[in-house]
Each structure stands twice: as C-alpha cells, then as structure tokens.
C-alpha cells in the first residue's frame, strides 16, 4: 500500500501523510487529534483527501490528479471501528455475512462459518449485539472485516473500550490473525505497549504530520526527535551542550555524560527511559551520579522513583529524573543509605534533534 495524502480538515488542521505499508502490521501512534483516524478514513474512502494518491496492490483507489476516487465498497478494505459499529437487528452470522451478498448461499455460509471458528464464536452465531460481551462484539467486528477477504485491514483503536483481561485476549487473537494475513494492516492506537506487542513497524503522527516511521525497535530505541520520544513514553529529557565528540553536558540534569553514538551538530536533547536507569551502591561506573529520593508513586507491580541529583530536595516538583523499578528491586534499594547512585548507561542514552 502506498499512501500520499493531504487532507485539509479545517482552517487550523491539515493532515499530510506519506508512507507505505506492506508485510508487517503498521501501528499508527499519536496523541488525540493528530490525524490517526482521519488517515484510515481517507484510505477506506469514508473521507476524501484534498489531494494525493492511494494505491493498493497496484490498484489506484484515489488520485486527485487523475480524478479517481473509488467508493468504499470497491476498495476491498476491511475496517474495524472503535465502537464496533454492529447493527442491533442483525445476529452474529448475519454480521459476518454482511459483505458477502454477491456469493452463492452455500459459499457464503461456508465463509461465515470459517470466521465463526477463527474468531472462536461457536455457539454465538444466533445472538444479537446486546447479548454479547465487549470482547465478543469486537471479535464479531473483526470477523466481519476479515470475511470479505480484504486486501487491507484497518483497525481504529480496536481495544480502547475493553477491560484489561479482554484487551489481552483480543491482542493475542490479533497477533494470531495478523501472522496469517497477507494484506496490509494498519492499527491505530495511542498506547505504545499495545502497538509494540501487535505490530512490527510504527508510524508516529503529530499535528497531522508524520514525524517517525521505522521498525518498532528503531522507533523505541532511537527516536529521531524529541516529540517522537515523548509520544513513545520517554520520561527523562535534558537540553544539551556538546563538549567534544564523545561527551555532552546535560543542562537540565547538571551533569556531563559520556556517549557512544555519533554526536551530530544538530543535537538538542538527551533522554533516557525510566526503566533503563540502574541503581548502584557505589559510584564505580561512568555516567553514575549521587541521587536522593524526592517522592514516589506505585502500581501493583512497579514503583516510579523521582530523583534529584547531587543534593536532597524537599520540593516534590523539583527533581531531575524518573526511574521505574519492579517492587522486588524497590524493596532492596530503599534499605540503602542515601545518597544512592544512579547510572545513565551510555548505551541507553537517546540523542535527539529538536
């Protein structure tokens, strides 16, 4: 799939997206209002780009210069909506067969049953949406989208309405489905962990523009800019000054850091993810600094520690770094006398342009 589109949504917002999607599922990340859903709607034919070109397997779906704009039912695209978009008067089997009316009845019934089995909906085929759980409704929506044998599958925040248990179940199902699906897959979400588990590649949108597009490993480990790092949930940033070809000054952390990545003249920020900070009893490593605990917060499994370097701080809003550790590790280090020592591993530092 080739997407080159520009959509003037309003006087204050324009979507400008260019990318390709083949093979691995592509996760589309971004804050609310960044253009994620509009991108899918333009590809599906539910919204018309102002200009551009959309090509799927050599078929031109949209071309503003040539005046081509295929209607949605001719695009061979399956769409899973955030709210499932199920019809209250249709049962499970009727939903799955909704886009198969042109097939002979025996073939249509065979296709419907195939996806009832694939989505683990046996015994539910005669039930209506109000008789189904959220997870079951989502599986019906996915089965309906897949049953038409689409050349591309678009999913718009498909897990957002599910509780944690159901979300995990549907994630596992999606991973299984995607591994056997040969078409292009676009998966919109605002949750990095969700996209990372389900997709192989990531595209990051901000204010209508593509600001990151690469494998999930590259986007996560080497975000190309400060904004991409923010949207992929990096918590620790500092402005920098370059000291030499292997050393920088982190201005907001008031420390100098050795680095292993090449330093570009355009370098503006350094970052490190909260779970990459390492605690030591002694300052026997490079990039290791004394720190004091300012405050903390916890979930059922992890603890977030807010740290001030060099001196104690009694102001809960005055800290340099956030560290995330499992509770087992927290029970160890909280018994150590302060100051603790925190290491910012040179291999884990993220060097970013503005």
State pLDDT tens for residues 213-223: 999 999 999 99
Structure confidence at residue 147 as a pLDDT band (50, 70, 90): very high
Name residues whose C-beta falls within 8 Å of residue 158's C-beta, 6 or more positions apart in sequence.
80, 82, 138, 141, 142, 170, 174, 187
Name residues whose C-beta falls within 8 Å of residue 88's C-beta, 6 or more positions apart in sequence.
128, 129, 130
**242 and 225 in contact (C-beta within 8 Å)?**
no
If one counts every other C-beta atom within 10 angstroms of the C-beta of residue 151, the result is 17
Q: For residue 50, which of 10, 78, 21, 20 has the smallest C-alpha distance?
A: 10
**Amino acid 316: pLDDT:** 86
Tell whether the model's pLDDT for residue 10 goes beyond 90: yes
Q: For residue 263, which of 284, 285, 248 has the smallest C-alpha distance?
A: 248
**139 and 123 in contact (C-beta within 8 Å)?**
no
**Amino acid 84: pLDDT:** 81
Q: Please give the DSSP secondary-structure letter assigned to residue 253.
A: T
List beta partners, residue 324.
304
Structure confidence at residue 174 as a pLDDT band (50, 70, 90): confident
Domain extents in the chain = 2-230, 236-352
**Amino acid 243: pLDDT:** 96
Tell whether the model's pLDDT for residue 124 goes beyond 80: yes
**263 and 245 in contact (C-beta within 8 Å)?**
yes
**272 and 240 in contact (C-beta within 8 Å)?**
no
Over residues 44-49, the mean pLDDT reads 97
Structure confidence at residue 129 as a pLDDT band (50, 70, 90): very high
In CATH, 2-230 is 2.170.150.70: no
**Amino acid 81: pLDDT:** 87
**Amino acid 187: pLDDT:** 96
**Amino acid 165: pLDDT:** 81
**Amino acid 344: pLDDT:** 98
**Amino acid 169: pLDDT:** 83
Tell whether the model's pLDDT for residue 252 goes beyond 90: yes
Over residues 26-30, the mean pLDDT reads 96
What is the distance between the alpha carbons of residues 259 and 270, in angstroms, rounded to a whole number?
10
**Amino acid 107: pLDDT:** 94
Name residues whose C-beta falls within 8 Å of residue 334's C-beta, 6 or more positions apart in sequence.
none
Over residues 86-90, the mean pLDDT reads 94
Q: For residue 153, which of 184, 119, 177 has the smallest C-alpha distance?
A: 184
State pLDDT tens for residues 193-231: 899 999 999 999 999 999 999 999 999 999 989 999 999
DSSP for 257-294, please give it: EE--SPPPTT--EEEE-GGG-EEESS--STTEEEEEEE
Q: What is the largest CA-CA distance in the chain?
A: 76
Taking the mean position of all CA atoms in its chain, how far away is CA 337? 39
């Amino acid at each position: 799939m080739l997407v080159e589109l520009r959509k003037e949504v309003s006087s204050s917002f324009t979507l400008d997206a260019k990318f390709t999607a083949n093979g691995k599922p592509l996760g589309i990340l971004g804050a609310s209002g960044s253009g994620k859903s509009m991108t899918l709607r333009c590809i599906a034919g539910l919204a018309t780009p102002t200009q551009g070109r959309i090509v799927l397997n050599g078929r031109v779906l949209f071309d503003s210069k040539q005046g081509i704009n295929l209607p949605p039912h001719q695009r061979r695209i399956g769409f899973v909506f955030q709210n499932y978009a199920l019809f209250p008067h249709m049962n499970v089997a009727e939903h799955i067969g909704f886009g198969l009316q042109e097939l002979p009845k025996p073939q249509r019934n065979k296709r419907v049953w195939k996806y009832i089995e694939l989505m683990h909906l046996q015994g539910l085929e005669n039930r209506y949406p109000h008789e189904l759980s959220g997870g079951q409704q989502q599986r019906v929506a996915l089965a309906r989208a897949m049953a038409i044998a689409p050349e591309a599958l678009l999913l718009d925040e498909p897990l957002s309405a599910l509780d944690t248990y159901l979300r995990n179940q549907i994630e596992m199902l999606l991973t299984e489905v995607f591994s056997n699906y040969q078409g292009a897959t676009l998966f919109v979400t605002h949750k990095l962990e969700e996209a990372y588990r389900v997709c192989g590649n990531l595209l990051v949108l901000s204010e209508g523009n593509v600001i990151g597009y690469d494998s999930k490993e590259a986007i996560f480990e080497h975000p190309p800019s400060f904004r991409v790092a923010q949207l992929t949930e990096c918590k620790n940033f500092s402005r920098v000054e370059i000291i030499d070809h292997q050393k920088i000054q982190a201005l907001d952390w008031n420390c100098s850091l050795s680095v292993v990545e090449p330093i570009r003249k355009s370098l503006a920020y350094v970052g490190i993810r909260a779970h990459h900070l390492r605690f030591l009893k002694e300052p026997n490593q490079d990039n290791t600094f004394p720190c004091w605990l300012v405050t903390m917060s916890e979930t059922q499994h992890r603890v977030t520690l807010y740290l001030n370097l060099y001196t104690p701080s009694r102001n809960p809003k005055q800290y340099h770094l956030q560290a995330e550790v499992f509770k087992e590790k927290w029970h160890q280090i909280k018994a150590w006398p302060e100051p603790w020592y925190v290491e910012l591993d040179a291999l884990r530092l993220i060097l970013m342009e503005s």
